[in-house]
Amino acid sequence: MIYKNYPMVSRVVFGRGSFNQLDEILALKRKGRNAPFIFYVDDVFKGNHWLTSRITLSYNDKIIYVPTKEEPKTSQIDQLVENIILGHSELPSGIIGIGGGIVMDISKAVALMLTNKGESKDYQGWDLIKHPAIYHVGIPTISGTGAEVSRTTILTGPERKLGINSDYTPFDQVILDPELTKDVPKDQWFYTGMDCFVHCVESLKGTYLNAFSQSYGEKAFELCKDIFLGDDLSSEDAQDQLMMASWHGGMSIAYSQVGVAHAMSYGLGYLLGVKHGIGNCIVFDHLEDYYPEGVALFKQMKAKHNIQLPKGICEYLEDYQFDKMIDVALSLEPLWENAIGKNWKNIITREKLLELYKKM
């Protein structure tokens, strides 16, 4: 048995207001006046925003606002990398991502692709990256995905939706400042928060479970229950706790795997562009055969927060479209093996997935 030798985020700051320490942290990493820091910032913070106005720019440092209507594409990463290379005589001192999972993933991918030749689509997969990334910092502004702690960056390429999984992907530095999440709209708070909840259920109910994953997964699961079903949390405590739940949920799947909801949600994402958080919710809502207790809790949470999930998104799809979604879902073999076990191919049939997709 060979155990994974897993890389982690090297440094992390946690605390309300810790965003103010960013300048001090970056000052130590500046390589010179021609090596700027590039800040990718979710465009929801565009304008004279309280968050953006706290970023100090020196020399050629740049803020680039990132639209987050769609999830990142490999072609988008290649374009961002080319813009940096054409615009500067030296590699940047670092990439700083400020936003949700989309901005986290874009920042990690650009940092990797600045030192690895070719197109990002060629690195979708496991351990294809050859050279360390440049210094990269993650500052989440919404909690749940665990992208701040993971060793992947999920990208949609011409042929597949798959992460660049590598030892060089994790951030060198993360700043966890729960205050940054205070203006997240309620629906989005729920969808991204449920991504964390689903990570916990899929990890804790999976066949890959071990004490490492379990210890993180159980903690995050309890935090999610308190946040989404409890009554006595102040909104600040809830923000703090969801940020830690996201981290622990990410740590839990790092050493195990996700499962059925994620596999099927990737299918919806690939074909219909349904985003990760909401896609997981749409799928998870129908998975009582696989995760009975988790789905029952999910339905309680959904009712308590009065969340209406979209219905009938697969209603008018044609057979070839269902086939494509099923292909994408089934290609994620480790997810199925974790969820069902080594003999999953005898249990999970195309007909079963078709029946599930038709309900969505």
Binding site for ligand NAD (CB under 6 A): 42, 44, 68, 71, 99-103, 105, 141-142, 144-147, 150, 152-154, 180-181, 183-184, 188, 192, 195, 275-277
Q: How far is the CB of 323 from ligand NAD (least distance, A)?
A: 23
Q: Which is nearer to ligand NAD, 205 or 262 (CB)?
A: 262
Stretch that binds Zn ion, among 98-106, 126-134, 188-196, 305-313 (CB under 5 A): 188-196
CB 72 within 8 A of CB 155: yes
42 binds, among Zn ion, ligand NAD, none (CB under 5 to 8 A by kind): ligand NAD
> Which one of residues 42, 71, 195, 337 is an interface residue with Zn ion (CB under 5 A)?
195
Stretch that binds Zn ion, among 43-51, 98-106, 192-200, 349-357 (CB under 5 A): 192-200
Q: How far is the CB of 198 from ligand NAD (least distance, A)?
A: 10
Q: Which is nearer to ligand NAD, 36 or 108 (CB)?
A: 108
| Residues between 214 and 243 with contacts to Zn ion, criterion CB under 5 A | none
Q: Which is nearer to Zn ion, 18 or 262 (CB)?
A: 262
> Which residue type is seen at 175?
I
Report residue 109 CA to chain centroid gap: 12
> Which residue type is seen at 298?
F
Indicate whether 202 belongs to the interface with Zn ion (CB under 5 A). no
Residues touching Zn ion, count (CB under 5 A): 1
154 binds, among Zn ion, ligand NAD, none (CB under 5 to 8 A by kind): ligand NAD
Q: Which is nearer to ligand NAD, 36 or 277 (CB)?
A: 277
Q: Which is nearer to Zn ion, 195 or 285 (CB)?
A: 195
In this structure, what token pair is assigned to residue 330?
């089934």
Q: Which is nearer to ligand NAD, 35 or 103 (CB)?
A: 103
In this structure, what token pair is assigned to residue 112?
């990797």
Q: How far is the CB of 62 from Zn ion (least distance, A)?
A: 30
Closest to 360 (Cα-Cα) out of 310, 296, 303: 310
Which residue of this chain has its Cβ atom nearest to ligand NAD in the complex?
Answer: 101
Q: How far is the CB of 15 from Zn ion (least distance, A)?
A: 25
Q: How far is the CB of 142 from ligand NAD (least distance, A)?
A: 4
Q: Which residues contact 331 (CB under 8 A, 6 or more apart)?
A: 160
CA dihedral 14, 19, 20, 26 (to 10 degrees): 100
CB 127 within 8 A of CB 163: no
101 binds, among ligand NAD, Zn ion, none (CB under 5 to 8 A by kind): ligand NAD
Q: Which is nearer to ligand NAD, 14 or 88 (CB)?
A: 14
Residues at the contact surface with Zn ion, assessed by CB under 5 A: 195
